[in-house]
């Protein structure tokens, strides 16, 4: 399970003699285990461009809404094959070995190890109107604007949700553990897939998983807030129910 770090950088533009300007530069940083991708948003500086010397002496350059990748080539660093497509990126997610970026038109561009989600060619026609992507260590799950879910990557890590296609409709939210996904549907039900030891099997608590409002995930388990304020968890210690209506809103 990966997280995206968003920061606001303050750049001082210097011509070698004096400060000639300043720039507030918003970036979103997401990483695999050995590489990183940076999504840049320059705000009102739509025609600006930058270059930076990296620790290994190489140079990375970028412009507005561009994506820069660096690190270990085998872990997703090399985005050269998709650089021309990586324009207008809105969001990036990462597995352990690959990246996926949502573009402004709702399409998705992937790169990195194909087995771990870097190759989305098998589902490319379905990846339209994508609003959100979540990732396990080896697979991606995407919510489209029509509420359908598309997943790809290693099947043992949640890369195949085809068995649940009929149930994965009107999905509002997806969460991911290290190797499983959980999706909340508009009727408050939950659909899980992936590795059972990581929360991909919720069969022991299915009857109780109704009226779900929100889901959060650890590395190997999910916890759901129900409509009555109680919390239901499953995964490595599946079936544990804790009622905390006074502490959960």
The residue among 122, 94, 110, 84 whose CA lies nearest residue 36 is 94
Can you give the residue range of the structural domain that contains 207? 180-249
Digit-coded pLDDT (tens) for 110-129: 988 899 999 999 999 999 99
Same domain, 5 and 94: yes
Give residue 98's pLDDT band: very low, low, confident or very high (50, 70, 90). confident
Structural domain total, the chain: 2
Q: Judge whether 234 lies within some domain.
A: yes
Cβ contacts of residue 169 below 8 Å, gap of 6+? Answer: 147, 148, 185
Total-model pTM = 0.71
CA distances from 25 to 18, 77, 104 (A): 20, 22, 19
75-94: pLDDT as tens digits: 555 667 777 777 777 888 88
CA distance 147 to 111: 25
Residue 67 lies in a domain: yes
Residues 118 and 10 in one domain: yes
Q: How far apart are CA 249 and CA 228, in angstroms?
A: 9
Q: Average per-residue pLDDT in the chain? A: 76
């Amino acid at each position: 399970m990966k997280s995206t770090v968003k920061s606001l950088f303050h750049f001082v533009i210097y011509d070698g003699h004096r400060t000639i300007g300043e720039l507030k530069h918003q970036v979103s940083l997401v990483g695999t285990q050995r590489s990183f991708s940076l999504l840049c948003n320059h705000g009102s500086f739509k025609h600006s461009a930058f270059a930076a010397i990296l620790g290994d002496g190489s140079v990375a350059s970028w412009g507005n809404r561009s994506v820069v990748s660096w690190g270990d080539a085998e872990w997703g660093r090399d985005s050269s094959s998709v650089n021309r497509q990586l324009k207008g990126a809105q969001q990036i997610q990462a597995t352990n070995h690959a990246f996926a970026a949502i573009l402004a038109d709702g399409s998705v561009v992937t790169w990195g190890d194909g087995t771990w989600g870097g190759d989305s060619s098998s589902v490319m026609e379905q990846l339209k109107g994508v609003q959100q992507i979540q990732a396990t260590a080896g697979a991606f799950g995407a919510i489209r604007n029509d509420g359908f879910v598309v997943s790809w990557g290693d099947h043992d890590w949640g890369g195949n949700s085809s068995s649940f296609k009929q149930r994965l409709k009107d999905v509002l939210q997806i969460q991911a553990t290290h190797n499983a996904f959980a999706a909340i549907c508009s009727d408050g039900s939950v659909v899980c897939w992936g590795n059972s030891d990581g929360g991909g099997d919720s069969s022991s608590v299915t009857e109780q998983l109704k009226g779900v409002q929100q889901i959060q995930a650890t590395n190997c388990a999910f916890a759901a807030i129900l409509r009555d304020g109680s919390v239901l968890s499953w995964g490595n210690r599946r079936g544990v129910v804790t009622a905390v209506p006074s502490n959960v809103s």
